[in-house]
Structure 1
Amino acid sequence: MKLLDELPVDHRLGQVYRYGAGLCGVALLVFGCLGFADGLAFFSTHGEQVAGLSSNGLLSFLSILFAVALIVGAVIGGNTASTINIVVGAAFVLSGFVNLGLLDSSANFLAFRMPNVMFSFIMGLVVATFGMYGRVSWKLPHDNPYWRARHPERADAEQRRLSLPAGGTGQRPPLTQ
């Protein structure tokens, strides 16, 4: 069984994944391009200020790489965008923790400073939230397409129950106020 087999396709939640990936991808693309425009040293551990964050050529390159991944996910849309958002978000959060440990060391190859760590955590959580929106929850509502895909028998039973006439008279039950 593949992971994507149980996920619904072409649902309105796909627009949330698509817009989230696109917005975050454009922000990262701008940051990466500004870093390249400044002609930053590729492996400098001190970095230069770009848009309020410390950056070097390697960080600019990685920012553009992740931006392209998010924008490709936004173009494809649907479950692909959701999965890309979750993976990229997790990578940003993990990067925040790793680079927090590398601050002020000679192994700080991405020239991170504390604002970069905070940005990494925030961007990671935002991107992952866009990816998980409506897909991951402790109690999804029964009309959610992910719940319906994961519980097809119960979803079919609920659909039959809602479509049966009241009392066998061929009429729908009256609406209550």
Structure 2
Amino acid sequence: MAHFPVNHPARPIYRAIGGLTGLYLAGFGVLGVIENSGAEFFAQNDTQVLGQGANLGYSVISVILGVILLLAAVIGRNVDATVNKFSGYALMVLGLAELAVMRTDANYLDFSVATVIVSMTLGLVLMTAGLYGKVGTDEETHAWQEARLLL
């Protein structure tokens, strides 16, 4: 799409932001795995990790997503932009779904309000990093500049 920035001057910063988000998720997940070792995978025991509710299931999901984000940041190019964008979408959907079932027995990932807020904030950060981190050809950059000037 011509309206999304290509070769944005701050794309290395957005790539680093995606990597730092992955580092946070991986660290949170590792701490969650340590805290929940020996518990059921989808236990609803109100365990707190960094002020957020997390069980072993969500901790493993966080570790996997964090490692994927870190690998994408290392690979770079458009891989990181794509992974960041879709991971952001996934975190937003996950946050909304868990917000809908938070006070029910369907809260399998043991989310709290703080976990929903952090999940949705990280989703917004990753979507921003994904939208501004795209690398393209000179023609794509020129088309983006033209579309930007027409607005």
TM-score, normalised with respect to structure 1 = 0.69
Q: How well do the aligned residues superpose, as a CA RMSD in angstroms?
A: 2.8
Which structure is richer in relative contact order (CA contacts within 8 A, separation 6 or more)?
A: 2
CA contact (8 A) 1:24 1:127 kept: yes
Give me the identity figure in percent: 34
Q: Quick one: distance in 2 between partners of 1:107 and 1:74? A: 34
Aligned to 1:83: 82
Q: Quick one: distance in 1 between partners of 2:19 and 2:139? A: 27
CA contact (8 A) 1:14 1:78 kept: no
| Residue among 21, 32, 35 paired with 1:35 | 32
TM superposition shift of 1:62: 0.3
Aligned to 2:23: 26
TM superposition shift of 1:131: 1.0
TM superposition shift of 1:47: 3.1
Aligned to 1:174: none
Aligned to 2:43: 44
CA contact (8 A) 1:28 1:64 kept: yes
Kindly report which structure 2 residues correspond to 1:143-162, keeping only aligned pairs within 5 A, or say none: 148-149=139-140
Which amino acid letter does the alignment assign opposite residue 140 of structure 2?
A
Aligned to 1:96: 95
Q: Quick one: distance in 1 between partners of 2:45 and 2:27? A: 21
Moved runs in structure 1, 4+ residues, more than 4 A? Answer: 11-14, 144-147
Q: 1:104 to 1:14 in 2, by over 3 A?
A: same
Higher helix proportion? 2
Which runs of 5 or more residues in structure 1 are unaligned?
A: 136-143, 156-177
**How many corresponding residue pairs?**
140
Q: Quick one: distance in 2 between partners of 1:22 and 1:14? A: 12
